[in-house]
Structure 1
């Protein structure tokens, strides 16, 4: 059976394995959760990853290379990840 996550841009074998371990098994799961929650799900499983995974997931959801995300897009993702300032 073909791994649907591997068919998405930016997602390779390791990132797909991490997503599977976090309970994300297909594109529909990933879309339902969104990039922030999917990234957090991977991080809470103890995988040592960087923000590059966050950008890769967002790019996968947009069907574009993560390197083409603008600085503003990345800043928005980082702000959402951190949460509102208090």
Structure 2
């Protein structure tokens, strides 16, 4: 993945998700890769409490280059538990 691409170019993210990530200080895919989807989700939730777990799934899958709907229940459960820690 090209590191310096704007966050909005990550697969699965729409304009609203990109806006939320930018507000949380995450502007590029490289920054998201460094932080990881769980930390990024926590940062977004500080500014956007209504952000749902779908954003977490979108980021995690996008970093793997796949559609968020392809995440397994096991992957989603692991991510959910990490967010709750």
The two structures have a TM-score, normalised by structure 2, of 0.89
CA distance in 2, matches of 1:7, 1:81: 24
Deviation for aligned residue 1:6: 2.1
Classify the secondary structure of the residue corresponding to 1:6.
helix
Deviating above 6 A after TM superposition, structure 1's stretches of 4 or more consecutive aligned residues are none
Q: Structure 1 stretches of 5 or more lacking a match? A: none
Match of 1:56 in 2: 58
- Which residue matches 1:18? 20
Tell me the distance in 2 between the aligned counterparts of 1:46 and 1:7. Answer: 20
Larger Rg: 1
Alignment of 1:72-83 (within 5 A): 72-83=74-85
What is the TM-score of this pair, normalised by structure 1?
A: 0.88
Aligned to 2:35: 33
Aligned length: 81
Deviation at 1:47, TM superposition (A): 4.0
Instruction: Structure 2: state its 5+ residue gaps.
Output: none
* Alignment partners' CA distance in 1, 2:74 and 2:27: 29
**Aligned CA-pair RMSD:** 1.1
CA distance in 2, matches of 1:4, 1:25: 6
